[in-house]
Structures are given as structure tokens and as C-alpha cells.
Amino acid sequence: MSSILIVGCGYVGTRLARQYLEQGQKVLGLTRSAAGLARLEAAAIAGVRRDLASDPLDDLPWADSLVVHCAPPPASGVEDPLTRRLVETFAATGSPRRILYLSTSGVYGDCAGRWIDESHAVRPTAERSRRRWDAEETLRRWSHASGRELVILRVAGIYGPDRLPLARIRAAAPMVRPEQSPYTNRIHVDDLVTLCQVAMERAPGGAVYNACDGAPSTMTEYFQAVAAAAGLPGPPLISLEEAGSRLSEGMLSYLSESRRLRNDRMRTELGIALRYPTLADGLRAILGAEGASVPSS
């Protein structure tokens, strides 16, 4: 049995690791911080604390392993030095048998609200998306040179228990009017975990999948739906022009891109049947039908 290494074992990775462990598989989770390591220990996951930017990596069992790479690039620049360093490590240690990389749908750039699938050209414009593209390209080069397999998931916004914008909604932070709001895409964390495991097992090497529920909405509708499900007032609405001075740079960057992602490929090629095919399904499971027990995050 190949050992499974989850690099960047955080919100998604911890759930995936638990699923593998419950099936009797051997898993090692890599995380950067002491808090991250404590989180893994609390979940009974074997963990190792390393910063991909600077710590030694060549003592880990990479050779012939299965790697799920969930560590995001650093917060600035247009390259992902972490993934570059990881791949350089394999030259000395031997390569994993397969890497599953959690990229983002941001690599498609702005698509003016059109429906797109994986055949759509990538056009990363935001720096965060250019870093992701750099990571994808680094891993593709590794795969070609080593002959080992790479599978990429282009992940939409992840939501789930403790991953809802409730703090923002409680703070009555404004959002742009629905008619000016871009389309956004999501996936429930449980469906993403299932997809990760199935893609690791069955996806053909070189494959790319959009990881999303296929039921996009505008960003404003998203915040309104979460607020309604939690029994909270919806966000105050402002114009896009006002947003320029009232919203964070990060939020403005997300507002500048609009696309609707198809998920046909993951459903037909991998046979994924989503447990939460719409946001309403996911919110009902997280918050209950009446938003009865609202977490504080």
C-alpha cells in the first residue's frame, strides 16, 4: 500500500486524512504551524511540521507515495516558490507516484459571467491566480520529466461547517447590488473530500477537473442565502462604484471576475454524485432547516 502524504493538511486535508484513516490507509499530514500540528494531533492524524519555504523536506517518504498537495502559494508575487521547492526535493528523494493538486478556478480569470468547462483557455490576471498557474505549470513540468502522474482540481469557493462568512454578515459588511454582482462558484467540503479521494484513485494522469457544485450564483446571492439560512439580516447593498472605497482589496479582486463553472467532467468521468448539489442543500445540512444552531465563525 502506498503511503499518502497530505501537504498542507488544513481544513480540507484534515477531513480527507480522517476519511483515509477510517478506511485503514496510512496517512501523514504536513502542516506549517504549531497550531496546525496540534489540530492534527487532536484528530489522531500523524503529522509533521514543516515550512515548505525553508525547512528540510528530504527526510520525508516522498518516493512512490501518493501526494495530495493542498498548500497554497505565499501571499505575494506571481510564482509559487513552495511548489518549486517541493519538486526540487523529489530530485534527491525520488518522486511520488502521483500528485493530486488543489488549484483554483481563478486560473481562468474573468469570463464575463459565461459558463465554462475545463477546455476554456486559462487567463490568470490577479496575482493570486498567476501564482496558482505557476504551481500548475511547475507540477506539469515535474510530471513530464519524471513520468509520474499529475491530476489537478480547479477548486471553487469551499464552504462547510465553520467555513461560512458569518462574521462578515454579523458585522453588516456591505455587498454590491445583485445586478452588478459577479457570478461565483462553490463546493461543499464533504463533496470536495470525496472528489479528492476518487480523483486520486481513478482519474487519468494529466487530467484537470473543475471542482464545483455546478450551481453558481452571484456573490450577493451567496451572502444573502447564508444570512437567510442563519436567520441574520442580509448585507447592506451598495453600488460597484461605492464598493471601490468601502470593500477590501481582496474582495474587490474577487468582484472583478465572473464565471460560471460546469462540473460535467467530474460527474461523467469520475462518476461523482454530489451530496450537496446546491448551496441550499449544503446550508440546510450545516445550519439546519431554520438556522437553529448558528456557529460563531
Q: List interacting residues with ligand NAP (CB under 6 A).
A: 8-13, 31-33, 36, 50-53, 70-72, 82, 102, 104, 155, 157-158
Beta strands per DSSP E along 131-222: 149-155, 157-159, 175-176, 183-184, 186-188, 208-211, 217-218
Kindly tell me which of 70 and 226 has the beta carbon lying closer to ligand NAP.
70
CA distance 290 to 230: 7
Kindly tell me which of 51 and 221 has the beta carbon lying closer to ligand NAP.
51
Kindly tell me which of 82 and 203 has the beta carbon lying closer to ligand NAP.
82
Kindly tell me which of 70 and 175 has the beta carbon lying closer to ligand NAP.
70
Query: Residue 42 has which C-alpha cell?
Result: 487532536
Question: CA separation (Å) from 174 to 165, 179, 181, 220, 232?
Answer: 12, 15, 12, 10, 14
CB of 100 to ligand NAP, least distance (A): 11
**Contact assessment for residue 23 and residue 33, using Cβ atoms and an 8 Å cutoff:** no
**Contact assessment for residue 134 and residue 73, using Cβ atoms and an 8 Å cutoff:** yes
CB of 278 to ligand NAP, least distance (A): 17
Kindly tell me which of 135 and 207 has the beta carbon lying closer to ligand NAP.
135
The three-state secondary structure class of 195 is helix
